A = this chain, B = another copy of it.
Amino acid sequence: MLIAAAMLAMSAMPGMAGSVKSPNGNLELTFNINQGCAMYSLTYKGKDVVKPSRLGLELAKDKHASKGMEETDLMDHFTIKDEKVTSFDETWQPVWGETKDIRNHYNEYTVTLEQQLEKKHYPKDPNTKGMWVEPQIRVIIIRFRVYDDGIGFRYEFPQQQELNYFLIKDEHTEFAMAGDHTAWWLPGDYDTQEQETQETRLSEIRGRMKEAVNWDNSSVAVFSPTGVQTSLQMRTDDGLYINIHEAACLDYATMHLELVDAQTKALSTKLGGGSNACTPNPKPSPYPLPAPLTFISHLTPDATGLKGAMQTPCETPWRTVMVSDDARDMLASNLILNLNEPCKIEDTSWIHPTKYCGVWWEMIVGKSNWHYTDDFPSIRLDQIDWNSVKPHGRHAANNEKVKRYIDFAAKNGLDEVLVEGWNVGWEDWANHWKRDVFDFVTPYPDFDIKMLNDYAHSKGVKILMHHETSSSTQNYERHIKEAYELMNKYGYDAVKTGYVGDIIPRGDHHYSQSMNNHYLYVIREAAKHHIMVNSHEATRPTGLCRTYPNLVGGESARGTEYEAFGGNRPDHTCILPFTRLQGGPMDYTPGIFETQLSTWSKNTSWVRTTLAGQLALYVTMYSPLQMAADLPENYERFDDAFQFIRDVACDWDDSKYLEAEPADYITVARKAKGTDNWFIGGKCDENGHQSVIKLDFLDKGKKYDCTIYADAKDAHYEKNPKAYVITKKVVKAGDTLKLTEAAGGGFAISLLAK
């Protein structure tokens, strides 16, 4: 509902500068032109959040561009042509989410900039010698939206003869930090987001970079010793929480940040030598370096080293800076979602939050396999008769096992069963530059697709489809329609996609403009077929699930699988909600009850949480798609604890962030959709946490059956992880619960209205 969109008075002299405050007045955004350059800054309660920082884009010369034209950068020679301040206040309802209603309330400052440029004319008349120069005007718009919990701003490029198509060499959006903040960061990388988060001062990023990168990851493409990813969470010494990310990254390259520090001599450039199709300016950026502790945007390149091909009218994604003096506001913020377009799917009735289990963990752990045969050094899909090859006997996605998982799901109220490794091609998939790796429609001989779907449906369960592309995106696009038609035929309504390995076509990167377009193409094609998407190894989310709510999940970070690859740090899940989850829910696949993998496999890894801590994740790691990732037999051993997974909702009418500190602890209470039931989760790092929860959010006058799943007194994520205590009592609004979280532990609480 639109409440107000009125003109506000501007606080500064038009033509030179403008500023606008947030609705509650805490944030103030200032914009001005300084020697022809576009500059902005941001304060929170009078404190500097972003010091004066430059805005602009450096362009590449397209060999087909009109002579003398499009290579002029969008960096300077700007004057203000027009300014406008407006206000907006609307409340909307997501298809699924943490709350039933979301308020989108901001003041907006829109500045139209004119850029003077010289246009060289080469006369066609051979009688005219030489060329002449004529001044031309180019127009761009920068739009700032100032919320109570942060800002978003973007560049907009109206359609005009002087800016019709352009190629981006790089975007130069600066974020000048006011101090040497503590930051939780991932190495800037064009192909992986699955590194452990680092906690350092900004000035320490360079020194930490080398050890921050696990070079064994299949797709490492680090670009700078001070490059980091977004969403980047920071904390200042005077108690501000600052988060930089982006919203609505559609047909544009994913943004990284490169920190200018005391040692920076020049910005990283990655210019293409692989093609003569375009000629990026070969000289280094001609623009002066900003002061140390300034981040500069660094976009993901394509195979030629360029960062984007644009056609006006168009705009960049929103660049976002969230800020508060309360860490809980970072988690409760809807700024990223609000900056995305409203839902574009008309009928959303087929989209539903989903709890699922799956034939997955035993393969990740290494006890069984995705592939079916060891007969060949490599395979070609068009040359193998699968019924005549020799199975190696460890193929997990077989009829018997899948039926067992279907039975387990049906018995425990889980909606779907993911089955990975059902389709032929897993014998040799990622990282061989093999284009035709999967066809997405042919099952292995021991997976009877019709029988199993019939069996599942007869028990009220669906099978969750799996499409590993192995990053051969051309191959996936060639097969996508037939693959989705197969899903429709057999009654699948959700697909987990995967992008393991290097991108084919060669030279492209996971987070480039073309790949971001691909991910969106998949989401849209899926929507046409009423299919929900859970995209693994894709680009980090930027709130697109508002516009396309069939994007119900994603990975784009280090998930639970790494607990089988050596382990995640105990503080890992106390960081992700501040960083990865800002853009959208994550398919973290929690619920590993048997934390010692060696008890049932040869894998010597162990999970770095307590069992109670695993339960907490169903509440602290918000997602409409939640997996019970462990084996059925492990859940059967801890059936009393599994009751929480049976009970917990995955869609919510309300959420209250009760306690939060990055990398330390997070406590959140959520009200299950359409009910009076609440669920509370608390998760902490390796230091444990004392949690005091005031139940003042419960309905007054109501009583609740309260079941507490807590760490036992001697629980410890390493020494005694499976020690938990289940307590039941009746509570009411105003009561207080005191809980002790063990090292690497947590708790989960269900409050069922009587």
Residues of chain A having any CB pair with chain B under 8 Å: 62, 64, 159-161, 164-165, 167, 218, 221, 271-278, 301-306, 309, 311-312, 376-378, 380, 428, 431-435, 474, 477-478, 481, 502-503, 505-509, 514, 517, 521
Tell me whether B167 and A303 are in contact (CB under 8 A).
no
A58 CA / B309 CA spacing, docked (Å): 34
Q: Which B residues lie within 8 Å of A301 (CB)?
A: 274
Nearest CB of chain B from residue A634's CB, rounded to whole Å: 30
Q: Which B residues lie within 8 Å of A62 (CB)?
A: 433
Copies in the complex: 2
Q: Which B residues lie within 8 Å of A271 (CB)?
A: 273
- Given A311-B434, A505-B514, answer yes or no on A304-B305 (Cβ-Cβ < 8 Å): no
A730 CA / B266 CA spacing, docked (Å): 85
Q: Which B residues lie within 8 Å of A517 (CB)?
A: 435
A431 CA / B165 CA spacing, docked (Å): 10
User: Could you jot down 15 A-B contacts, CB within 8 Å?
Assistant: A164-B428, A165-B432, A272-B273, A273-B305, A274-B303, A274-B304, A275-B507, A302-B505, A303-B303, A309-B433, A311-B378, A474-B514, A477-B478, A505-B505, A505-B508
Nearest CB of chain B from residue A160's CB, rounded to whole Å: 7
Q: Which B residues lie within 8 Å of A521 (CB)?
A: 478
In-complex Cβ contact of A305 among B274, B378, B478 (8 A): B274
In-complex Cβ contact of A378 among B165, B302, B434, B435 (8 A): B165
Nearest CB of chain B from residue A166's CB, rounded to whole Å: 9
Tell me whether A274 and B277 are in contact (CB under 8 A).
no
Nearest CB of chain B from residue A706's CB, rounded to whole Å: 51
Q: A309-B432, A312-B378, A435-B517 are in contact. List 6 more A-B contacts (CB 8 A).
A: A159-B378, A167-B433, A272-B273, A274-B301, A303-B507, A474-B477
Closest 5 CB pairs of A and B: A273-B273, A274-B274, A303-B303, A275-B507, A309-B433
Q: Which B residues lie within 8 Å of A277 (CB)?
A: 221, 502-503, 506-507
A474 CA / B504 CA spacing, docked (Å): 12
Q: Which B residues lie within 8 Å of A380 (CB)?
A: 311
A161 CA / B375 CA spacing, docked (Å): 12
Tell me whether A377 and B159 are in contact (CB under 8 A).
yes
A309 CA / B521 CA spacing, docked (Å): 26
A502 CA / B161 CA spacing, docked (Å): 22
Among A221, A272, A303, A474, the one with the most B-chain Cβ atoms within 10 Å of its Cβ is A303
A555 CA / B540 CA spacing, docked (Å): 44
A165 CA / B428 CA spacing, docked (Å): 10
A311 CA / B273 CA spacing, docked (Å): 26
Q: Which B residues lie within 8 Å of A434 (CB)?
A: 165, 309, 311
